[in-house]
Amino acid sequence: MPKFLTFLILVSHWSFGQVLQNGLILPTAANTENSCCIYSPEVGFTVYENPRGLIVGKLTRDVSKNQSDQSAYEIYFVDISTKTKTKLDLVNFREVDYEIWSITYFERRDGFVRVVNENSNYWLNEAEIQKLGFAVVEWQAFLSNSKNLMGFYANDPGLNLREGPTKEARIIKTLRGDLYEISPTNEHNGLWTKVKIVKRKEHPCETTLTEKDNIEYELEGWIKIVDDSGQPNVGYNARGC
């Protein structure tokens, strides 16, 4: 199956009972046009001033100044009125695989998503996103189904692994640091995800131990994999070791 086709299937059938306000704009299938660097359609995305508001420009890499060998890593906002081209820093995007970044969104309302960063006012139309071969993917869906990343680890100050998907459930272990490798399963309850935990003796990138010998113990339980706004409670290393 193409690399991101699973996300289209996932988004079509996923149901958490609420619309989360943070996530990623990802292609629904791998292709040569969108296979590298910052995921973006060749024609760019139309930018609106607010949901159902006026069109103010485009997010695109197809501009006259963007002819360098780094062009695949560069996206500009092109103002429709002034024709001004503003380069968006790579820090505004999220690395989701080795040398591959995604546009992120921070608010979702009335069929539109607000993208780039929490201080921007760039709105994209979800219908156009889908038409151009992309999907709006909540962080919870991405984290629970990405098979291309190394195991996840708890963000500071740590995460409580619980027996059940509630804050009242007994704490099995508090996960801190990257020696607790978190692997999500396909069981979910609201913002909670059932996970498998492997406690490593040494970090897999720094050990000479075999895979088996490097396992201290294993656990299963539930963590709140995203916070109430849909931002990740776990981190990952997109570049591997």
pLDDT digits (tens, 9 = 90+) for 20-65: 789 999 998 765 455 568 999 989 999 999 998 999 999 998 766 5
Residues 136 and 189 in one domain: no
- Render the burial of 160-179: b for 16+ CB within 10 Å, e for the rest: bbbeebeeeeeebbebeebb
Confidence band, pLDDT 50/70/90 cuts, at residue 219: very high
Residues 193 and 215 in one domain: yes
- 33 φ/ψ angles, rounded to the nearest 5 degrees: -70, -40
pLDDT digits (tens, 9 = 90+) for 176-204: 999 999 999 989 999 999 999 999 999 99
CB 223 within 8 A of CB 196: no
Question: Residue 68: its pLDDT value, please?
Answer: 62
Question: Residue 1: its pLDDT value, please?
Answer: 34
State the greatest distance between any 2 C-alpha atoms of the chain, in Å, as a whole number: 62
Identify whether 241 is part of a domain.
Answer: no
Residues 23 and 130 in one domain: yes
Residues 175 and 140 in one domain: no
Cα separation of 139 and 14, whole Å?
A: 12
Residues 160 and 229 in one domain: yes
Question: Residue 13: its pLDDT value, please?
Answer: 43
Question: Residue 65: its pLDDT value, please?
Answer: 55
Least confident of 96-100, 108-112, 162-166: 96-100
Q: Which residue type, as a one-letter code, is found at position 100? A: I
pTM of structure: 0.84
What's the whole-number mean pLDDT along residues 108-132? 94
Residues 190 and 128 in one domain: no
Last residue of a domain, one of 126, 145, 164: 145
Judged against a pLDDT cut of 70, whether residue 157 lies above it is answered with yes
Identify whether 240 is part of a domain.
Answer: no
Cα separation of 91 and 234, whole Å?
A: 19
Residues 46 and 98 in one domain: yes
Question: Residue 2: its pLDDT value, please?
Answer: 41
Least confident of 39-48, 63-72, 155-164, 173-182: 63-72
Residues 30 and 76 in one domain: yes
Cα separation of 28 and 64, whole Å?
A: 28
Single out the residue of 50, 11, 48 nearest to residue 27, CA to CA.
Answer: 11
Last residue of a domain, one of 97, 129, 145: 145
pLDDT digits (tens, 9 = 90+) for 76-95: 999 999 999 999 999 999 99
Identify whether 201 is part of a domain.
Answer: yes
- List the domain range (segments joined by +) for residue 103: 5-145
Q: What is the count of structural domains for the chain?
A: 2
Q: Which residue type, as a one-letter code, is found at position 108? A: R
Last residue of a domain, one of 125, 145, 165: 145
- 143 φ/ψ angles, rounded to the nearest 5 degrees: -65, -35
